[in-house]
Amino acid sequence: MGNGKTKGSSFERHVSVLLSKWVSNNERDDIYWRSHNSGGRFTKRMSVGKTTEGQDGDLTCISKDPTHRILTEVCSIECKAYKEINFWNFITETKSGISAFWDQACHQASQANKTPVLIVKKNNMPILFFCKEPIKVVLDVEELLRIKYRDEYIYGFKFLDILELDPTSIINQLILTQEVG
């Protein structure tokens, strides 16, 4: 792959297709896509006090089907693909690498009043899915890792394990979680 921006954009498209196929039982690959300027438009408008619905994070739902939209209405999804990802940054609270990615996901999610999700890919390694407690409770799969970072737990899963779960039950649980919260 070319430069980092090209690699990141390609990864976002790849994750969009995987999520689209997941929620549609492999019937569609166009339900989710990269948000405008990969969330940059949302960030720019927030800096001047304006909101931009559905453009937080790296992915947005382009389907009008409400059952598809709930995922991006509840979660702000950040996608990162890097040659190296150092999990020690969580332990040392170093503001770079994966801890910086998580901080970015949390910041945008907070601005959009959503739950952060971080999907990361290190070269030649499986894609990982990170979330907070509300999403972890919804997932019916054992976490790969749990990290305490800044007084809260972050849960990590193999993304392919998430994609093996029934999306309808997860989406229904997300709806309940949103209604309770």
Mean pLDDT of 136-158: 90
Pairing of strands 152-158, 128-131: antiparallel
Mean of the per-residue pLDDT values for the chain? 85
* Assigned token pair, 41: 């438009």
DSSP E strands, 54-181: 59-61, 75-82, 115-122, 128-131, 145-149, 152-158
Instruction: Look at residue 4 in the predicted model and tell me its pLDDT.
Output: 63
Mean pLDDT of 16-23: 97
Look at the block and give the residue holding tokens 């945008």.
108
Instruction: Look at residue 172 in the predicted model and tell me its pLDDT.
Output: 83
Instruction: Look at residue 134 in the predicted model and tell me its pLDDT.
Output: 82
Q: 34 near 16, Cβ under 8 Å? A: yes
CA dihedral 73, 80, 157, 145 (to 10 degrees): -120
Segment of 40-44, 145-149, 173-177 carrying the highest mean pLDDT? 145-149
User: What are the extents of the domains in the chain?
Assistant: 4-180
CA dihedral 132, 137, 138, 139 (to 10 degrees): 80
* Assigned token pair, 80: 């990162």
> Length of the chain, please?
181
Phi and psi torsions of 69, nearest 5°? -70, -25
36-89: pLDDT as tens digits = 644 444 444 444 555 555 557 899 999 999 889 989 999 999 999 998 888 888
Instruction: Look at residue 164 in the predicted model and tell me its pLDDT.
Output: 95
Q: Other C-beta atoms within 10 Å of 146: how many?
A: 10
Confidence check: pLDDT of 93 > 60: yes
* Assigned token pair, 58: 């790296």
Rounded to an integer, what distance in angstroms lies between the CA atom of residue 39 and that of residue 47? Answer: 13
Rounded to an integer, what distance in angstroms lies between the CA atom of residue 24 and that of residue 4? Answer: 30
Instruction: Look at residue 86 in the predicted model and tell me its pLDDT.
Output: 83
> What would the DSSP string read from start to end of 163-180?
HTS-HHHHHHHHHHHHHH
